[in-house]
Amino acid sequence: MIETAAADALASGMVPLEMTQTEVFQAIQADSLLSASLWINIALAGLSILLFVYMGRNVEAPRAQLIFVAALMVPLVSISSYTGLISGLTVSFLEMPAGHALAGQEVLTPWGRYLTWALSTPMILIALGLLAGTNVTKLFTAVTADIGMCVTGLAAALTTSSYMLRWVWYVISCAFFVVVLYILLAEWAEDAEAAGTAEIFNTLKVLTVVLWLGYPIFWALGAEGLAVLDVAITSWAYSGMDIIAKYLFAFLLLRWVVDNERTIADMASGLGSASRGGGAPADD
Ligand code: RET
């Protein structure tokens, strides 16, 4: 009964105020396209965890181990994130403000995604930075700007008082994103040349930059932004990008690290000394 009501409500975009967690859960289950987009990531994250642990079993160089730990955290955060979404714990139906295409309607907001990106994306950047031979300053800048991007993206999704302010948050988030892109494309690309890891770094850099650009685009087009795309399609877009940006990314990185552990081990020890000038002194 509730399930049918929730499904109808979701389909019409009109959902009663203050749904319980059970009702949110049932609404998600009732939309098979939406729930499939979440379950597939739980399954793939689980498989990735097992695979990565297996791949890393003989890695001994501390820097290579650190890359492994960072990369392994990505599917670990992901499986937790998607479990939060599928259970309804980290999903809310929020009434969109005047000016929004769905003004006055309750829109499914998977805010847990944006929250957990603040944990998973720094791990991706730490792994990439270590591969490139970053210094502490650049790593700190990339990670803090990235967390800023995710938290202000969360604020964009959760702001219901003003349509304009949702977009103000969005623009702030994009500004943080530009900092991350600059470090990836300019700073670390050059550091990787000096560190002798340019080939793999460039592959992962292109994969990361292209996919990460998709997230703000789909946010803008999705129900939380301009509402051109429906909730389930947007969820599939995020899930699809996640599969490549997280599991495939980490797999390619870890496979290279296993095959080239010596290169990683021989990188000038410590964050800082492998990169061009400036930055903090080596700390390990
Ligand atoms: C938001 C909306 C606000 C503007 C910008 C965004 C960027 C999000 C990105 C997310 C990447 C997520 C990944 C997750 C993997 O676990 C928050 C969508 C710029 C780039 C790679």
For the chain, domains (ranges, CATH) are 2-266 (1.20.1070.10)
Q: What spacing in Å lies between the alpha carbon of 212 and ligand 1's midpoint?
A: 6
Bridge partner list, 92: 109
Q: Each residue of 186-198: b (16+ CB within 10 Å) or e?
A: ebbeebbbebebb
Q: Residue 269 has what pLDDT?
A: 52
For residue 272, name the pLDDT band (cuts at 50, 70, 90). very low
Closest C-alpha to ligand 1, atom 7: 216
Ligand 1 pocket, CB under 6 A = 114, 117, 120-121, 149, 153, 156, 170, 173-174, 177, 212, 215-216, 219, 242, 245-246
Kindly tell me if the per-residue pLDDT of 277 is higher than 50: no
Calculate mean pLDDT across residues 168-184. Answer: 98
| Residues 195 and 267: beta-carbon distance below 8 Å | yes
Nearest CA to ligand 1 atom 17: 153
Residue 12 has pLDDT above 60, yes or no: no
Dihedral angle computed from the Cα positions of residues 144, 147, 152 and 155, in that order, rounded to the nearest 10 degrees: -140
Give the position, in ligand 1's atom list, of the atom nearest the Cα of 241. Answer: 21
Spatial contact of 52 and 72, defined as CB atoms under 8 Å apart: yes
Query: What is the tally of helices (H) and strands (E) in the chain?
Result: 12, 2
Q: pLDDT tens across 14-61, in order?
A: 555 578 999 999 999 999 999 999 999 999 999 999 999 999 999 999
Atom of ligand 1 nearest to the CA of 245: 21
pTM of the full predicted structure?
Answer: 0.90
